């Protein structure tokens, strides 16, 4: 493994992937143990990690159904630094921690730290979560994973990307980088799932 072979973009990808995956994995249990965050955060983080992994990340990672594995879709130097068998897990950890828990915290702060926003359906909260989830995914695909999702690559069918590679139109292009339907569907589906599940969990524990 030779880090000198990494381009600036590849080095940025490596740093973002490992940091966004591992930092919440350390911080959330630590804050939970010290009772500095609500008790539901750690189990919710764990469940969301499993949903992301089983829902699409592992399918996309290995190309399980009619797709290309990530090893085929990216440079060999990245395969060495982020091995295939941990890549999907790292992405799932980042999804659950940095993206989901981070977004829930951000929306709570933006909404004035209201206690009720995650206990009853609020369309402003839902819309804001959707914008954040979809927006971050588009940004990640355009500036981090653009080579892995370039035209000509195939993403596997997955439970949360049910149209698979058989119906996967390009939604738009920017600077020769493409945004495709198959990679957007998981977060489109996850937005109501996460918000609805959190409301149900918190109301049960009230």
The predicted-structure confidence for 75-126, as pLDDT tens digits, reads as follows: 889 999 999 999 999 999 999 999 999 999 999 999 999 989 999 999 999 9
The alpha carbon of 202 is separated from its chain's Cα centroid by a whole number of angstroms, namely 23
- Number of structural domains the chain divides into: 1
- Look up the pTM and report it: 0.93
Residues facing residue 174 across a β-bridge: 177
Q: Which domain holds residue 126?
A: 3-205
Write phi, then psi, for 174 (nearest 5 degrees): -145, 120
At 31-80, the pLDDT tens digits run: 999 999 999 999 999 999 999 999 999 999 999 999 899 999 988 899 99
Residues facing residue 161 across a β-bridge: 158
Write phi, then psi, for 145 (nearest 5 degrees): -105, 20
Give helix 181-205 / helix 123-143 axis angle, nearest 10°: 140
């Amino acid at each position: 493994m030779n880090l000198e072979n990494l381009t600036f973009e590849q080095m940025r990808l490596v740093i973002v992937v490992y940091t966004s995956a591992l930092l919440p994995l350390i911080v959330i249990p630590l804050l939970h143990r010290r009772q500095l965050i609500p008790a539901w955060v750690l189990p919710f983080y764990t469940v969301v990690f499993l949903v992301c992994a089983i829902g699409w990340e592992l399918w996309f990672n290995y190309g399980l159904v009619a797709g290309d594995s990530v090893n085929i879709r990216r440079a060999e130097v990245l395969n060495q630094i982020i091995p295939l068998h941990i890549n999907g897990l790292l992405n799932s950890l980042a999804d659950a921690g940095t993206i989901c828990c981070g977004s829930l915290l951000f929306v709570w702060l933006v909404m004035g730290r209201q206690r009720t926003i995650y206990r009853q359906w609020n369309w402003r909260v839902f819309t804001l979560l959707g914008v954040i989830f979809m927006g971050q995914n588009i940004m990640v695909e355009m500036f981090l994973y653009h080579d892995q999702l370039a035209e000509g690559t195939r993403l596997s069918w997955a439970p949360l990307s049910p149209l698979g590679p058989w119906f996967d139109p390009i939604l738009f292009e920017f600077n020769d980088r493409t945004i495709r339907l198959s990679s957007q569907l998981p977060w489109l589906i996850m937005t109501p799932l996460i918000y609805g599940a959190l409301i149900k969990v918190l109301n049960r524990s009230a």
